[in-house]
Structure 1
Amino acid sequence: MNSHPFDQALRLQHSDLRVGQFSGQTSSDYWNMVGPFGGATAAIVLQSVLQHPDLLGVPVALTVNFAAALEAGEFEVQATPVRTNRSTQHWTVHITQNGAINTTATAFTAARRETWGASDAPMPQAPRPSDVERMSIGPHGVAWLAQYEMRPISGSIPSVWDGSGSHSESRLWLRDAQARPLDYTSLMAMSDMFYPRVWLRRATVVPAGTVSITTYFHADAAQIAKVGSGYLLGQAHGQRFNNGYFDQSAHLWSEAGDLLATSNQIVYYKE
């Protein structure tokens, strides 16, 4: 049994009653303000697909919609392959607690093959991880931050909330605080590691929360395995803030400069 906190949080029991139905338990190690860290919830969704006996291929895309926060305690996940072709598979997934759905998702998996490839999003210049100071543990009640080692390069959370923000871009090195080889589930979680861009853009504390996130996996399993427990370089920025919602994008590169994943999410905010 793997004792890493992330693997504990992802542990699912397959039901004997229905194929693709799993039960799990929320983890206090990945708790956020009012529920689990969204990246951990999204990783649970992906885990249900990866544990499904009918899985074809590897993850290519995952969209997770947070209809409501999970409460502390038990939950159920249902993963269903709604269409399987020769080399691709489409999924729907939902999480329920006490008979109510709080998370919905769609996933796309495929049997990838070697083809021509290129990247038009090169890794930006950055100092070595060892040359960047590690971020201290976050505020009380946000336990999930302690599960990651983050070394901010630019765009840290404002130290003064005076409304003087002028941009929304952050850049940092990150990895699991307790060494763990990277895989698709941890890559999914790390794609949601960036705090709401509205806080940086405005330098003002406002309520905000992700409504939906889509992550695209650009690396195959072998490329992800090459990363091991090394650092990822993450970069995120907002794009349009308007009428209570904004979108923000994120990129994750390996230390070797390979673009591993990108994500886009829509975030709710209040004045």
Structure 2
Amino acid sequence: MPLHPFDEATALETAGEHTWQGRTSPAYGNMVGPFGGITAAQALSAVLRHPQRQGEPVALTVNFAAPLEDGPFEAIARPARTNRSTQHWQLELRQQGQAVLTGTAFTALRRDTWGADEHTMPSAPRAAEIPLPTARKRVEWVNRYEMRFIDGGFPEHWDGRDTGSSRTRLWVRDAPARPLDHASLTALSDVFFPRVWRRRATLVPIGTVSMTVYFHADAAQLAEVADGYLLGQAQAQVFRAGYFDQSAQLWTEGGTLLATTHQVVYYKE
């Protein structure tokens, strides 16, 4: 049985202590280089494969230091400190001997405690009630996801008008459907197109500089989701001086918050 495109893209081969060899995947190609979400997932995959890993991902931060070129790369995941129930990681992707991504990760042994969700899932029609977009897809990575926009989809007209809001809500999952895990949840956290495009209806040049994902579920909880849809919501906070930040949340169909994410994006007028 052939590998899912996501598993092919995140495959890594051991290349020494704390080091793996990977390569970009044309299946996740973006306008320039690969889709940032798959690159973040590749960095996390090095942690997930590490024989010294303790616990499961709680937080991941990646900083895109330079564009990743199509081709091979070196992934480095080094445990910086291991405590009794937590572990802190230093991450790096390198090409031609130079860093193209730096980052950190935090893994931990989770335990049962009191809990509550304050950020509850917004009401929304079921995924099956939302039609798939029929517009031509501009980049290849979009074909790797089934995205059913509830509101805040791509502007109907790229006419430069201020739409008044950058919010998007959609149902999303891998295409073809794939059981959810921490690596794929990382990539799904970046499926929201740049908020400045939604707010301004203009395809200005952009580039994510830094992205953080907080994981609120362990592997067993993600396995319960299987290949179901996630409800995603994203919105910017401020656009100013060439940068904006956007926050997003991903819930299960039953309303469990699985991940929250925040990123800072460069844009050019």
Same fold (TM over 0.5): yes
What is the CA deviation profile of residues 90-119 of structure 1, one whole-angstrom value per residue up to 9, with x for unaligned ones?
000100111111001100000000100000
Return the letter of the residue paired with 1:154.
D
- Which residue of structure 1 lines up, in the alignment, with residue 11 of structure 2? 11
What is the CA deviation profile of residues 50-88 of structure 1, one whole-angstrom value per residue up to 9, with x for unaligned ones?
000100000000000011121111110110000000000
d(CA) in 2 for partners of 1:136, 1:153: 14
d(CA) in 1 for partners of 2:170, 2:59: 23
- Which residue of structure 2 lines up, in the alignment, with residue 196 of structure 1? 194
Q: Secondary structure at the match of 1:211?
A: strand
Return the letter of the residue paired with 1:4.
H
d(CA) in 2 for partners of 1:125, 1:108: 32
- Which residue of structure 2 lines up, in the alignment, with residue 268 of structure 1? 266
How many angstroms does 1:2 deviate by?
Answer: 5.8
1:32-181 to 2 correspondence within 5 Å?
Answer: 32-136=30-134, 138-140=136-138, 142-162=139-159, 163-181=161-179
Retained in 2: the 8 A contact 1:135–1:149? no
How many angstroms does 1:240 deviate by?
Answer: 0.7
Retained in 2: the 8 A contact 1:208–1:267? yes
Retained in 1: the 8 A contact 2:137–2:143? no
d(CA) in 1 for partners of 2:82, 2:205: 41
How many angstroms does 1:165 deviate by?
Answer: 1.3
| RMSD (Å), alpha carbons | 1.1
Retained in 2: the 8 A contact 1:182–1:229? yes
Retained in 2: the 8 A contact 1:2–1:8? no
- TM-score normalised to the size of structure 1? 0.97
How many angstroms does 1:161 deviate by?
Answer: 2.1
How many angstroms does 1:164 deviate by?
Answer: 3.1
Retained in 1: the 8 A contact 2:232–2:250? yes
What is the CA deviation profile of residues 20-58 of structure 1, one whole-angstrom value per residue up to 9, with x for unaligned ones?
100011100001011110000000000000000100000
d(CA) in 2 for partners of 1:200, 1:43: 25
Greater CA deviation, 129-138 or 155-164? 129-138
Return the letter of the residue paired with 1:124.
P
d(CA) in 1 for partners of 2:78, 2:136: 37
- Which residue of structure 1 lines up, in the alignment, with residue 228 of structure 2? 230
d(CA) in 2 for partners of 1:237, 1:80: 33
d(CA) in 2 for partners of 1:114, 1:107: 22
5+ residue gaps, structure 2, are none
Return the letter of the residue paired with 1:8.
E
- Which residue of structure 1 lines up, in the alignment, with residue 247 of structure 2? 249
d(CA) in 1 for partners of 2:55, 2:245: 30
Retained in 2: the 8 A contact 1:236–1:251? yes
Retained in 2: the 8 A contact 1:36–1:70? yes
Retained in 2: the 8 A contact 1:138–1:146? no
How many angstroms does 1:138 deviate by?
Answer: 4.6
Retained in 2: the 8 A contact 1:137–1:146? no
What is the CA deviation profile of residues 132-163 of structure 1, one whole-angstrom value per residue up to 9, with x for unaligned ones?
011236534x1110011000000011111231
How many angstroms does 1:209 deviate by?
Answer: 1.5
How many angstroms does 1:206 deviate by?
Answer: 0.9
Instruction: Provide the identity percentage.
Output: 59
Q: Secondary structure at the match of 2:67?
A: coil
How many angstroms does 1:204 deviate by?
Answer: 2.0
What is the CA deviation profile of residues 191-237 of structure 1, one whole-angstrom value per residue up to 9, with x for unaligned ones?
01101101111122211111100000001111111100000000000
d(CA) in 2 for partners of 1:52, 1:6: 19
Retained in 2: the 8 A contact 1:58–1:110? yes
Aligned length in residues: 268
